Amino acid sequence: MDELRMTDKKFWPPRFRKWSRRERENFKIGMLFLLPWTIGFLAFTLYPMLASLVYSFAVYHARQPLEWVGLKNYIDLFQDDLFWTALYNTLYMVVIGVPLTLLASFFCAILLNLKVRGQAFYRVVYFLPSIVPTVASTILWLWILNPQAGILNTVLGYVGIHGPNWMSNPAWSKPGLIMLGLWGMGNTIIIYLSGLQDVSVSLLEAAELDGANWWQRLWHVTVPMVSPITLFNLITGVIAMFQYFAQAYVFRGFQNLGYPLNSTLFYSVLLYQNAFQWLKMGYASAMAWVLFIIILVCTLALLKVSDKFTYYAG
Amino acid sequence: MTTIPAQYPDPRLTQSEEARQRARRKGIRNFFKSLSSHALISFFGLFFLVPFLWMLITAFKSNEDVFHTPPRWLPYDNVRVVVNGQELPLYNVITPQGEKQLAAVKIVEGVGTFVDPLHPDQVQEYEIQQGETKIATPVMHVSFRWQNFPDAMNRASRPSVNASFWVYFKNSLIIAFFTIIGTLLSNAPVAYAFARLKFPGRDALFVIVLATMMLPYQVTMIPLYLFFNNILHWGDTFLPIIVPAFFANAYDVFLLRQFFRTIPEEMCDAARVDGASEWQIFTRLVIPLSVPVLATVTVFTFLWAWNDFTGPLLFLTSPKNFTMALGLQDFQSQRTLVWNQLMAAATVFTIPIVVAFFFAQKTFIQGIKLTGSKE
């Protein structure tokens, strides 16, 4: 077998050769250490991945046998109004929610990087909401956004603004969820803060000596210096937002998924609904693969575009 | 006009005077600068602080106060007085003799039976609502209702269910505990192999590890659900949530590998020369040196397992198996909401994490930085 592979130039991997005894020994030890991951990868990643790819070409109602339908699921998907609604809702969150979160986190990180006393206390205050469990924080915000007894509309009332019906008005449900996200953005703030602390002081001082004001130093020194962190936060934020689920699931209260008027029907919510409420496992698998491809394409596109906007020091 | 020769003061004096003035000006400027910084940070900090406090405040509110409009910033409760050995709520009642504070014995179908605490033998009946005016309004005072916490924990997420939030709390603890054990046991050796062992195929495999981070859970969710439920018959048990933790995951492997690579290679080599096997180097040398990073993994695994909603939602169906996340969601999906108890349960759900945070603040921040910004 090995002889055959060695002579076959086209065979992959290209530089295949017989391992020495030592290499074989090392490989054995290495694989023993890797055993937990290997089993986990095969059983909980590779197998389900292939299985869902197979299901996506079939009609599959859990306990009944598979029925092959070829590309039908994918074709149906693109003709499904709910799919487009869910995609629109998800893109709304990705396009508005993620950049807003980045901007707000960067701003908060700048505040928390100011040289003032008691900064440790402020940092805890800004960070604490991000460790409140998702279900708890979502319920808390439902209470805050409550149109009658909620404090948000009360506080808005102090300044003369008549707050909307956050949970039952389809135009305001997504902004409400974005606000919930902003409340728990502590992680992003911390990552930005550690980036700000790495910005070289000498560079900022040099800019100051050259007569750059605060804004110019921020825009021309700090922002480029933390641009790799912005890229990281952007990509992880986009990936997470495409999978947005728990908050939306809790947010509708006792109403149907997507309440009000499918305005919180996000991609993963629709996928869950198809798979576990309507038991359309094949259709949901097709949705999952489309999601995977969307995420891949977005990530690669962001990486490609970021070449122009990201500065790597050193 | 003759110029009077100026009496120049001692130059050193002028300088120090000027310097003192400059220093004072600078001091004033710095004072205002720091004042405005504090003001800015505090102002935006309100956005993070107030909702958090609102959760606590609501958790302490009485039922009468929860839906008070406009909402009040402190928890209020009905004043209670003891009349004839009974504890009764006190009301402001507009009686034909003028406004009086009376204790309500009972209020049935809009008719209240009141007694005057000063004359306990005189029972009076009034209709609560007479036309537009409310005859009786409860007398409120600031009071923290601690009873909400036991009330919330002793109840189930929905009526007619034989479970309580204590059970959900216990279930969450069990799942978090085994997830932590599994994560620590399985990830460390894998990370060590990727960090320090040299064997053919290692780097290719590591690329696969990193690639699995890209895979959304939605892709593997459905086959895993069918596999655990229909093939292994693990439906409605903790096993589908706990068992995968014993088989390593990309994030923790990556985190631990980054740390293991900072341990000097020479130490491992020295141990190798002394005839130690790789397993001995790993367990006797690398693990004891890695306590800080293992603490980070422990804390983050706890955070993740405690917070997890999707896993329990997919696999746990009967209320006796619910976790806190699931129980709270179920409680919240009822038509009639008891917001004070809901917030009390949410507070109890949050407390373990806040406690963990204050005990391991450095570990938290370090973990975020390790998984976040570095490399």
Give the ipTM. 0.88
Residue B344's pLDDT band (cuts 50, 70, 90): very high
Q: What confidence tens digit (pLDDT) does each residue in A212-249 have? A: 888 999 999 999 999 989 998 999 999 999 999 999 99
Higher pLDDT, B373 or B151: B151
C-alpha separations of A209 from A201, A202, A205, A223 in Å: 12, 10, 6, 19
pLDDT (0 to 100) of residue B370: 67
Interatomic CA distance for residues B204 and A30, integer angstroms:
13
Residue B14's pLDDT band (cuts 50, 70, 90): low
- Interface probe for B, chosen from A33, A49, A50 (most Cβ of B below 10 Å), is A33
Nearest Cα residue to B192 out of B262, B243, B245, B247 = B262
pTM for the whole structure: 0.88
Beta-strand pair B80-83/B119-127: unpaired
| Contact across the interface for B349 and A136, Cβ inside 8 Å | yes
pLDDT (0 to 100) of residue A56: 94
Residue B40's pLDDT band (cuts 50, 70, 90): very high
Contacts 24+ apart (CB under 8 A), A116-119: A116/B34, A116/B37, A116/B38, A116/B41, A117/B34, A118/B38
Answer whether residue B302 shows pLDDT above 60. yes
In chain B, alpha helices (H):
11-59, 63-66, 148-154, 165-196, 202-214, 217-226, 239-242, 250-260, 265-273, 278-280, 287-289, 291-307, 310-315, 324-332, 339-359, 361-371
- Interface probe for A, chosen from B60, B68, B222 (most Cβ of A below 10 Å), is B222
Average pLDDT of A161-182?
A: 91
Average pLDDT of B216-220?
A: 94
Which run of H or of E encompasses A204?
helix A201-209
| Contact across the interface for A26 and B216, Cβ inside 8 Å | no
Q: Out of A41, A114, A142, whose CB is closest to B41? A: A114
Answer whether residue B255 shows pLDDT above 80. yes
In B60-164, alpha helices (H):
63-66, 148-154
Q: Which residues from B are below 8 Å from A48, CB to CB?
A: 219-224, 227
| Contact across the interface for A37 and B349, Cβ inside 8 Å | no
| Contact across the interface for A132 and B246, Cβ inside 8 Å | no
How distant is the alpha carbon of residue A110 from its chain centre? 23
b/e for A18-43, b at 16 or more Cβ within 10 A? eeeeebeebbebbbebbbbbbebbee
- Interface probe for A, chosen from B32, B47, B48, B322 (most Cβ of A below 10 Å), is B48
Q: Which residues from B are below 8 Å from A141, CB to CB?
A: 51
Interatomic CA distance for residues B125 and B131, integer angstroms:
17
Q: Out of B42, B54, B307, whose CB is closest to A151? A: B54
Q: What confidence tens digit (pLDDT) does each residue in B73-101 have? A: 889 888 888 887 888 888 888 888 888 88
Interatomic CA distance for residues B227 and B230, integer angstroms:
6
Letter for the amino acid at B25?
Answer: R
- Residues of chain A numbered 61-120 and touching chain B (CB < 8 Å): 62-63, 107-108, 111-112, 114, 116-118
Q: What confidence tens digit (pLDDT) does each residue in B98-131 have? A: 888 888 888 887 788 888 888 887 788 888 777 7
Shortest Cα–Cα distance, B120 to chain A (Å): 37
C-alpha separations of B365 from A136, B72, B357 in Å: 22, 35, 9
| Contact across the interface for A243 and B216, Cβ inside 8 Å | yes
pLDDT (0 to 100) of residue A147: 83
Q: Which residues from B are below 8 Å from A111, CB to CB?
A: 37, 40-41, 44
Interatomic CA distance for residues B282 and A120, integer angstroms:
37
| Cβ-based neighbour number of residue B334 at 10 Å | 14
Q: What confidence tens digit (pLDDT) does each residue in A261-309 have? A: 899 999 999 999 999 999 999 999 999 999 999 999 999 999 998 887 7
φ and ψ of B129, to 5 deg: -110, 115
Per the omega criterion (within 30 degrees of 0), is the bond before B70 cis? yes
∠B364-B368-B373 over CA atoms, to 5°? 150
| Contact across the interface for B208 and A23, Cβ inside 8 Å | no
Q: What confidence tens digit (pLDDT) does each residue in A68-124 have? A: 898 999 999 999 999 999 999 999 999 999 999 999 999 999 999 998 888 989 999
